Amino acid sequence: MSENTTLAAPSLRSKTLNVLETIAIGAAGGGLSYWAQLPGGLITGAMVAVAAAGLAGRKMGLPPPLSHIVLMALGVSLGSMVSPQMIHNLSSYPVTIGLLAVATFCATFGSSIYLQRVHGWDRTSALLAGSPGALSQIIMLATERKANVPGIAVVQIMRVIILTSAVPLLLAATGMMAHGPLPSRGPEATPLVLLELSAVAIAASLLLRLINFPASWMFGAMLGSSVLHGSGLVEGTLPQWAYLPALVGIGTLIGSRFGAIKARTILSYLGAALGSFAVAIAISAVFVVGIILTTPVRLADLVVAFSPGAMDAMMALALTLHIDPVFVGAHHLSRFIYVSIVTPGIVHWFGRSPDDLDD
């Protein structure tokens, strides 16, 4: 028994050191970018630093309990921005959500055609790589269909990295957001309100997890916080000591996903990732321009809502850039559900069967 304990101790110690190293690198990258007053710097700085360390051979990652805390803190903070006026504006979302579904469909097929014609990918792999968001479901489906899993992972994660880094810079460069530190979020919640928010966030997250709701930790916390704030039962936002680490944490999570892929694999699929990304963005931009010309929706809200990136990353950007979180959340959740439900059917009808892929 003592021998087993001795053998297990280095493994536990190694894992602990890896987590501490990941946190330290993420905090350093986020802090440096925040000090330089880069738009969305806490997220993008942590993301780039952790991704670079992973590519350099360091083992980066956060354990699930810590990841869940980060996502719930983000959800609570997003929910605290909800007001009765925002809830009233929900009635205008069906049109843009419907157009988002069409844009997602077109972007998926556009990227797929590019990957097939230019890079010689098979139809199934190209369709899965071109489908924006729902990475876990996409990878599971790719494995089941014997598709090009490494290539799909690189294309999907590169899209997230580029959008998370570029969207804040784009909005700042075009004057749609201020270039500088994080904007004021209002008064901080009292300790009693924080306790109430935490209890409701945990309960709502666990409930959504029981019914297999997508992104349950973040959306459960956001839902609970939104109800409490939107109804006027509580007031106040997360204190800085919780808010800032949550932003660094989400960047760290994204960076660790990218850093887990070998540099050789990334380089071999870099052209496919960049090209398919350009096609998807061009198609999405057409829809954004059309909506801007025909509706009163703010351009900054549309840019983040229609960006085909990871749901957690785009929600975090909405928080740091003072984008309408209800609008962005409704659209990214809709896209997540659409991709999760529709993609298997698209692959079944337009992709190749597993037997064909064995040939």
Distance, C-alpha 159 to centroid of its chain? 10
Cα dihedral value 158, 159, 165, 171, nearest 10: 160
Query: Which pLDDT belongs to residue 272?
Result: 94
CA distance 171 to 287: 18
Q: Which residues of 301-323 are buried (b: 16+ CB within 10 A; e: fewer)?
A: bbbbbbbbbbbbbbbbbbbbbeb
Reported as a single tens digit per residue, the pLDDT across 296-320 is 888 888 888 888 877 767 777 777 7
Residue 338 phi/psi, 5-degree rounding, is -60, -50
Q: Tell me how long the chain is.
A: 359
Query: Which pLDDT belongs to residue 281?
Result: 93
Cβ pair 222, 314 in contact under 8 A: no
Handedness of CA 308, 136, 203, 43 (dihedral sign): negative
How far CA 29 is from CA of 77, 247, 311, 337, in Å, comes to 22, 12, 22, 33
Residue 114's pLDDT band (cuts 50, 70, 90): very high
CA distance 249 to 243: 10
Query: Which pLDDT belongs to residue 203?
Result: 94
CA distance 27 to 50: 9
Query: Which pLDDT belongs to residue 134?
Result: 63
Q: Which residues of 63-78 are buried (b: 16+ CB within 10 A; e: fewer)?
A: eeebbbbbbbbbbbbb
Mean pLDDT of the chain: 81
Mean per-residue pLDDT for 346-357?
Answer: 60
Residue 357's pLDDT band (cuts 50, 70, 90): very low
Residue 180's pLDDT band (cuts 50, 70, 90): low
Predicted TM-score (pTM) above 0.85: no
Reported as a single tens digit per residue, the pLDDT across 32-48 is 988 887 767 788 888 88
User: Quick check: 5 pLDDT over 70?
Assistant: no
Reported as a single tens digit per residue, the pLDDT across 68-86 is 898 898 888 877 877 666 5
- Residue holding tokens 């052209």? 271
- Residue holding tokens 């009808």? 349
Query: Which pLDDT belongs to residue 170?
Result: 80
User: In this predicted model, which residue has the larger pLDDT, 315 or 190?
Assistant: 190
| DSSP structural state of residue 188 | B
Enumerate the H helices of 179-239 as residue ranges: 191-210, 216-230
